[in-house]
Structure 1
Amino acid sequence: MSEPTFRYLNKAVPRTEDYRLLTGYGRYLDDIEIAGALHVSFVRSPHAHARIVSVDTTTAAGMPGVVTVVTGRELAQWTTPIRVAAPVEGLLPVEFTTMPTEVVRFQGDLVACVVATDRYLAEDAAEQVMVEFEPLPVVTDMWQALEAGAAQVDPGVPGNLVSHQTYSNGDPQGVSEHAHRVIEATFRQQRQTHVPIETRGCAAVWDAGREHLTFHIGTQVPHPLRTQLAQRLGLSESQVTVISPDVGGAFGQKIALYREELSVAALARHLKRPVRWREDRLENLTAAANSREDFCRTRAAVDEHGTLLALDLEIREDFGAYCFFPANYLARVVAMVLSGPYRLQHYAFDVKVVLSHKCGNAPMRAPMSITSWVMEGTIEAIARELKLDPVEVRRRNLLMPEELPYRTATGELLADITPSQTFEAVLNAFDYDAFRLRQQAARASGRYLGLGLCNVVEPTTYGSRFYKSAGIPGSGHEASWIRIEPSGVVNASVGLGPSGQGYESAMANAVAEGLGVDPSSVHIHLGHTDIAPYGMGSRGARSGTAGGGALYLCALDARRKVLAIAAGCLELPDGDSLRLVDARIERRSGDAWIDAGLTLADVARRAYMDPTSLPPGLTPGLEFHLAYDPPPMTYSNSTHGCEIELDVATGAIHVVRYVIAEDCGTLLNPTVVTGQQHGAVAMGLSGALFEHTRYDETGQNVTGSLADYLIATSTELPNFEIIPLHTPSRATAAGIKGMAEGGVMGALGALTNAVNDALAPFGVVADRHPLTPMLLRDLLRDKL
């Protein structure tokens, strides 16, 4: 497949937004000054499950600076409940109010809200709200949640089983009965949270005269959040403006409209005064959103050579106390894309999602993060049980180029991916045979090296048809507009919600490429619902393909009109012999292109100021709008290789080397892509090694500070070596595939496989995260 030649795409340039962010001129929520704004502090439950007997706000309401104290009863009058009820078989509907009025469901749940003239007075008064609780039995474990007689988290979810879905393709049971072996493997991923540098916060300004709400918030999805906010407040969308300034990280935590944010908006409307809120780190770690916690078991039917014949997957996921998203969403995607780059048709899955008395779940960067670890760990288990080389087992099962496109057992179409090429590239980078010799020599001297490999197929596009086929509500389209001003300057917008990814640089390149101007003349406007077109926001690595694709296609429309007007200026019948390069019109002369003596500014002035001279059929101005619904799903792919040294005496892991071979199609800006690769791998390694949101048997979160919830720093992370092997997609605009989450997926699998490779002489297997020294020492106890 020949690759198109681009002028601006696939070219690494510095991020244009970095100047303001690095010099202190970024504009985050707390930089927005709102005169006379009141401040909110929430009273939270110290219990994981309790009945609210009484709430006495008398003392707090009488304290200096306090404007009001409200509870769930007042908010129930000002807002409507949230109802998550996707019409999916096996998924139960859930509904809950803005603030509990009778029962709290996790430690940190909302009980009351204090509004005062500054944050400190509000926090002081919140401590004086006297709440009497009646503690109730607690469920803190996904297995305990399904036991007979377990405490009920949500009265509308009997047995705490909020979602149960099964699927089967082919005859996995029959194939397993006649297979050489059926090999079982288990995988346990711990509960985690997102830890953005900038915690959640918002500021609401109610204009009583216009009956209009302006809502400042760091969000990944400005338009969907506006829709939810309007619905919950009983307003029309024209009465709400959402403005998302610079955002200090999100990672999936800033998608939902949370109850605190809705409360702030309702209070501003009720009080007719601006109201703002910023959570502290304790609130963020205990009450913002959790993610991950799941258990997977695979049963792989194989022949004597390690060929995968059939696979059965069991998933259990703990979704916490509240469902801000359909509870089937995260685990269902894991089940749908599990097979990754491997040949498999006989496949079945059983997915159960339960509620517990913990903070509710939200997607976290790579919500399907466990996928590649499960599949690659299953391949490793096959090799281990059959005493085969794991590299050869992978080669036996990997899809080859001639087998693509390939329809998976769940109906997904894998096309334009290169798993065998990235796999071999990483093996060559490590010199696999030489590593095995080094490993043997090191073992002889009491040192234990391990090499972990992980092939990743990352879902990136999530078009509307994917959501529909997966039984998940939502749209995958994206919308864009481009306006070429009379001066030739280009303004453009798309409905994404940036949170530090470098969209301004990347999206400017997409416009520049499609139109034919230098990226420096393109100004991208994001995060303002009165300016940007209605789009689905940033999530699931969709922004490059859906957002970049929408802008690129819109820019092509703009270029066609510009060239048509230029043809009229040059008295040509059409623009077929013209092109736009760096905002200058060029004309074909034989085999060469020559300057036509026109600039984009010349064309733009004519379009706006002299519309009667335009060719027939062309309207005045240069404004363009386009909505783009990409393919149901596109995939990028990569292979990760991780070499570690394990200190068996202490259980400490030292990452010696980390290599990634990646194919993510046409790159909007390689500088941005490299940053995404580094960040995703770092997040994956941090999660696999350190991060763990832990609850005790009473439902108390014991990791409420960064002294207890550990995250990786630069001293624990290796250098990342990247091997670019990009090939374009034939199904998307400009061949863009997208990426951003595969690094998390690959890191989990590569690191864990490396650890198990180092543990191999001792006959033990690490099947859970985090890979702490304590866990590894427990595995090695009595083995040394």
Structure 2
Amino acid sequence: MSTSEFRHIGGHQPRKEDARLLTGKGRYIDDIFVDNALHACFIRSPHAHARILSIDTTAAQAMPGVVAVVTGKDLQQWTTRHSMAPPIDGLHPMEMDTLPISKVRFQGDPVACVVAIDRYLAEDAAEQVQVEYEPLPSVTNLWRALEPDAPLVDESLPSNLLSHQKAVHGDVAGAMGSAFRIVESTFSQHRQTHLPIETRGCIAQWDQGRGHLLFQVGTQVPHPYRTTLATRLRLKETQVTIDSPDVGGAFGQKIALYREELTVAALAIQLKRPVRWREDRMENLLAAAQSREDHCRTRAAVDAEGRVLALELEMVEDFGAYSFYPGNYLARVVAMILTGPYRIHHYSYDVQVVLSNKTGNAPMRAPMAITSWVMDGTMDAIARSLDLDPMDVRRVNMLTREEMPFTMPTGEVLADVTPCETMEGALRAIDYSAFRERQSKAREEGRLLGLGLCNVVESTTYGSKFYKAAGILGSGHEAAWVRIEPSGEVSAAVGLGASGQGYETSLANAVADGLGVSPGCVKLHLGHTDIAPYGMGSRGARGGTAGGGALYLCAQVARQAVLDIACCMLGTGHAEQLRLMDGRIQNKLAHAWADTPLTLADIARTAYLDPLALPPGMKPGLEFHTTYEPPPMTYSNSSHACVLEIDPLSGAIRFERYIVAEDCGTVLNQFVVEGQQHGAIAMGLSGALYEHVEYDEITGQNLSGSLADYLVATACELPRFELLPMHTPNRQTPGGMKGMAEGGVMGAIGAVTNAINDALSFLGVVADCQPLTPMYIRELLRNSRHSTFTKVQP
């Protein structure tokens, strides 16, 4: 089926989920009542780095209502150690206990757990647990972590350098030696956290008679989560069911099996009673996963026209105290796709990942978020250095449609992306030449206007071949089943874990068009490992392409079976002359389609209840299963244009316009995609301007442990987003899907920073660190070379 024949894919249907979610009828972890459940509360370290000398639980255990108090030594008997040891060159293996036994590594590290008959008693009892610590020097600065005498975060390793990988592609040295100029730039992205509305939580119920664990938890990856949980508990996978109900946001924080969740599961088995846990907001800010803290330096060899002859990247990432993921995982993706939409043949990278006494890292929506800012920020730096128009520098370096597919220097293949088209579309919408005239006049009036452009190539569907090439453990396949019920209604399932993406709406469209029914007839089953097939879950932007692709292909298999049965029942010669349209069989007569007496319900009843009437050799029922291995990587692309004004007195910014021209292939549902774009852009702008997990450099204390300190943008601070759909299909995926959901973060980070630097460019200063607070911008103004602004009092 070509994209022009889609009836439901690409529609603007309202989200099915919203009927329950917006009326308070959602089913989150806290909405699930479990009789006789106990409540867990964790005792957390007040120190960033310390030896555990003793833990006295006597007073807590004596309190009425307290059922148990356990420590790392107890958990050591009931669970296996976590091991992260993939055979990757330059990456050190790491192991950790379920709860620390000898040493804590960050403020908030859980050292013991109280279980009581209600949450209030558990929290009261937690305060009575006495832990004696021997404080140790901490390291919370990534540069300090690299020094030879830095305190060791993990004493089993020779240093804090967890991962070090480098590569040279092409003749970088030769290009550097013959360059007209070498342009150096730096980019520092600060530490952030995911901040889902629903914090982490779980319920564990052990069925002693069946030897079975029902574990209800908000997770993005139900099946891999089950595999890990069963392994750590020394259970068979058949003894564990993961049920992930409605999830109030995840953004990458709800992928790993965390130590608290494993502890709760082990306690339920040992106590033979249900145990539940919900972290509060402070715990989430202190102890849930964090992300983003990177420092990048580029050296670009260019000719007189700004054409990039070679590019060098040096990157250092702060990975925190524990390795829930391979240490090279997040930074390696940045290095592999950095060159993005630009024609660069000679490229090298040197990537170091260090441990520190901070909360461990996890992927955060767009773990490669810094990529587009680095590349387009480098383009702007080249323009400043050579006194060229920044858009002309982009044009001379940008890949064209005629050059696709293009093999990046790292071997990644770009195909079916349109960066030239989206950039020019954004520039037309913003009226670039008119803006430059306005900017010049504004400067004469003492006003600071800036325009930032960021071209994004977003890696979306990570296939198995990508993981293999990157030296990262993982599979990229997805699995789906479609079952046509005897009534003609359709049930479908896929191995994704929904956390607010609108899957029930968008994926129903994929099934509907693949089969030939209305989306209203399709019921999606997600998040339950006993129901959904074993898939790799939701991460990156793979849901639409991998999940939607698997369902679309499975639905097509189901449709063919339906048509074969219809052909037999109608007595026609060829199934090719039939089609299923909105649940009714149609026959092609001459050049038009006409309804037959048969409906999908008629065929389904025959398949289940009269199997002797089926075509010879066909089995009863209508249930189908398909797995889908996507290409090594699919890419979507977009161009973000941001116009803003800086107040020279305060350093505050005011948005004027924000435009995004996006090509994300065949869109499963326009309404859902627009919501994803809005959410991603908002997250990127909020992160670049406000959000900052900050640690005291001496004590290692988290200074942003509440929402009074960890600031988040609201609708009042964000601009109106103008979206320009410029979609073209991918020729390698079912239906032409490309995927999307993270590029908005990437583009927002680069566009707003580039806009600020454009406003400040004539002053001789560059914002190369985030967050872009008014205080930071005001400091840049004070250090500028322009008298009009240096005279302004701070």
TM-score calculated relative to the size of structure 1: 0.99
> Match for residue 35 of structure 1?
35
One-letter amino acid matched to 1:726: H
Q: Distance in 2 between matches of 1:281 and 1:265?
A: 22
Q: 1:481 to 1:769 in 2, by over 3 A?
A: same
Q: Please, what is the CA RMSD of the aligned residues?
A: 0.9
Q: Does 1:775 align with 2:766?
A: no
Task: Identify the residue that residue 240 of structure 2 maps to in structure 1.
Answer: 240
Aligned to 2:536: 536
**Helix, strand or coil: the match of 1:576?**
helix
Per mean C-alpha deviation after superposition, the further-off stretch among 232-241 and 2-11 is 2-11
> 1:334-366, CA deviations, whole angstroms, 9 ceiling, x for partnerless residues?
000001100011000000000000000000000
Residue 762 of structure 1 and its aligned partner are, at CA, apart by: 1.2
Cross-structure match for 2:792: none
2:163 is aligned with 1:156: no
SS class of match (2:442): helix
- Whether 2:706 is the aligned partner of 1:705: answer yes
* Residue 495 (str. 1) matches residue 495 (str. 2): yes
Please give the secondary structure, in 1, of the residue aligned with 2:709.
coil
Structure 1 counterpart of 2:534, one-letter code: Y
State yes or no: 1:410 paired with 2:383. no
Q: Which residue type is aligned with residue 736 of structure 1?
A: M
Q: Deviations over 1:87-107 (max 9, x none)?
A: 111011100110001000000
- The CA deviation string for residues 431-490 of structure 1, in whole angstroms up to 9 with x for no partner, is 100000011111111111000000000000001111011100000000000000111000
Q: Do residues 185 (structure 1) and 173 (structure 2) align?
A: no
Post-superposition CA distance 1:105-128 (Å, at most 9, x none): 000001110000000100000001
Contact 1:44 1:111 in 2 (8 A): yes
Of 280-289 and 439-448, the range deviating more from structure 2: 439-448
Residue deviations 1:526-557 (CA, integer Å, cap 9, x gap): 00000000010000000100000000000000
Deviations 1:487-527 (A, max 9, x none): 10000000000001100001100000100000000000000
Structure 2 stretches of 5 or more lacking a match? 790-794
Residue 574 of structure 1 corresponds to: 574
Q: Give the length in aligned residue pairs.
A: 784
Aligned to 1:564: 564
Contact 1:638/1:742 (CA < 8 Å) preserved in 2?
Answer: yes
2:509 aligned counterpart, secondary structure: helix
Contact 1:114 / 1:126 at 8 angstroms: preserved in 2? yes
Runs of 4+ in structure 1 displaced over 3 angstroms?
Answer: 1-4
Q: Matches of 2:203 and 2:300 in 1, distance apart?
A: 52
Aligned partners of 1:66 and 1:115 also within 8 Å? yes
1:601 matched residue in structure 2? 601
Q: Residues 2 and 400 from structure 1, CA distance in 2 versus in 1: closer, same or farther, beyond 3 angstroms? A: farther
Q: Using a 3 Å threshold, how does the CA distance of structure 1 residues 618 and 113 change in structure 2: closer, same or farther?
A: same
1:737 equivalent to 2:738? Answer yes
Query: Which letter maps to 1:537?
Result: G
Query: Separation in 1 of the partners of 2:2 and 2:174?
Result: 43
Work out the CA distance in 2 between the residues paired with 1:390 and 1:144.
36
Please list the CA deviations of residues 19-74 of structure 1 after superposition, one character each: whole Å capped at 9, or x if unmatched.
00000100000000000000000000000000001111000111111001010000
Structure 1 unaligned segments of length 5 or more: list them.
none
Contact map agreement 1:3 1:727 (CA 8 A) in 2: no
Question: What amino acid is the match of 1:764?
Answer: V
In 2, are the aligned partners of 1:213 and 1:241 still within 8 Å (CA)? yes
Give the Cα separation in 2 of the matches to 1:613 and 1:3: 35
Post-superposition offset of 1:2: 8.3
Structure 2 residue matching 1:637: 3-state secondary structure = strand
Q: Name 1:762's counterpart in structure 2.
A: 763
Offset of residue 597 of structure 1 = 1.2
What does 1:359-438 correspond to in 2, within 5 Å?
A: 359-438=359-438
1:45 paired residue number: 45
Where does residue 475 of structure 1 map in the other structure? 475
Counterpart contact for 2:765–2:783, Cα < 8 Å? no
Query: Secondary structure of the equivalent of 1:567?
Result: helix
Inter-partner Cα distance in structure 2 for 1:200 and 1:306? 48
The 2-side partners of 1:5 and 1:302 are apart by 47
- For residue 89 of structure 1, what is the aligned residue in structure 2? 89
Aligned partner of residue 734 in structure 1, secondary structure: helix
The CA distance in 2 between the partners of 1:64 and 1:437, in whole Å, is 75
Residue 86 of structure 1: CA displacement?
1.1
**Residue 651, structure 1, aligned to residue 657, structure 2:** no
Q: Which amino acid aligns with 2:734?
A: A
Separation in structure 1 between the aligned mates of residue 171 and residue 278 of structure 2, nearest angstrom: 54
Give the 3 Å change call, closer, same or farther, for CA 382–2 of structure 1 in structure 2.
farther
1:243 and 1:573 map into 2 onto residues whose CA distance is: 46
Change (3 A) 1:782 1:259: closer
Contact 1:285 1:703 in 2 (8 A): yes
Cα displacement (A) at 1:596 = 1.2
SS at match of 1:777: helix
Q: Which amino acid aligns with 1:748?
A: I
The answer on whether the counterparts of 1:342 and 1:397 sit within 8 Å (CA) in structure 2 is: yes
1:3 Cα deviation after fit: 4.8
Q: For 1:45 and 1:478, locate their aligned partners in 2 and report how far apart those are by CA, in whole Å.
A: 40
- The residue type equivalent to 2:675 in the other structure is G
What percent identity do the matched residue pairs reach? 67
Secondary structure of the corresponding residue to residue 625 of structure 1: strand
Map Cα deviations across residues 621-645 of structure 1 (whole Å, 9 max, x no partner).
Answer: 1000000010000000000000000
Residue 514 of structure 2: aligned partner = 514
**1:720 is matched with which residue?**
721
| Distance (Å, rounded) in 2 between the aligned partners of 1:428 and 1:679 | 24
* Structure-1 separation of matches of 2:83 and 2:727: 43
Query: Matched residues in 2 for 1:761 and 1:373: separation?
Result: 20
Q: Alpha carbons of 1:782 and 1:508: their partners in 2 closer, same or farther (altered >3 Å)?
A: closer
Distance 2:655 2:106 in 1: 37
Task: State the AA in 2 paired with 1:430.
Answer: I
Amino acid corresponding to residue 778 of structure 1 in structure 2: E
Question: How many Å separate the matches in 2 of 1:227 and 1:519?
Answer: 32
Distance in structure 2 (CA, Å) of the matches to 1:412 and 1:525: 34
CA contact 1:568–1:574 (8 Å) conserved in 2: no
* Equivalent-residue separation in structure 1 for 2:573 and 2:486 (angstroms): 24
Paired with 2:163 and 2:255, the residues of 1 have a C-alpha distance of 21
User: CA contact under 8 A between 2:329 and 2:472: conserved in structure 1?
Assistant: yes
- State the shift of 1:156 in Å: 2.3
Task: Tell me, in whole angstroms, the C-alpha distance in 1 between the residues paired with 2:744 and 2:617.
Answer: 49
Distance 1:655 1:216 in 2: 43
Measured in 2, the distance between the counterparts of 1:726 and 1:286 equals 41
Give, in whole Å, the separation in 2 of the partners of 1:5 and 1:530: 35
User: Helix, strand or coil: the match of 1:159?
Assistant: coil
Structure 1 residue identity aligned to 2:725: P
SS at 2:48 equivalent: coil
Q: Give the drift of 1:291.
A: 0.3
Q: Deviations over 1:212-264 (max 9, x none)?
A: 00000000000000000000000000000000000000000000000000000
Q: Compared with structure 1, are the counterparts of its residues 2 and 554 closer, same or farther at alpha carbon in structure 2 (3 Å cutoff)?
A: closer
Q: Distance in 1 between matches of 2:718 and 2:352?
A: 35
Kindly indicate whether the alpha-carbon contact (under 8 Å) linking 1:201 and 1:277 is maintained by their aligned counterparts in 2.
yes
- CA apart distance, 1:574: 2.8
Contact 2:3 2:735 in 1 (8 A): no
For 1:530 and 1:696, the matched residues in 2 are separated by: 46
CA gap of 1:782–1:299, structure 2 versus 1, over 3 A, is closer
Q: Which residue of 1 aligns with 2:60?
A: 60
Q: What amino acid is aligned across from residue 436 of structure 1 in structure 2?
A: R
Shift of 1:782: 4.7
The residue aligned with 1:639 is: 639
Task: Give the C-alpha shift of residue 4 in structure 1.
Answer: 3.5
| 1:677 alignment partner in structure 2 | 677
Instruction: Quote the residue 1:748 is aligned against.
Output: 749
**Cα distance in 1 between the residues matched to 2:285 and 2:201:** 14
Specify the code of the residue in structure 2 equivalent to 1:191: R
Contact 2:2 2:735 in 1 (8 A): no
Residues 620-631 of structure 1 correspond to what in structure 2 (within 5 A)?
620-631=620-631
Aligned position for 2:462? 462
In structure 2, give the amino acid aligned to 1:282. Answer: M
Could you tell me which residue of structure 2 aligns to residue 693 of structure 1? 693
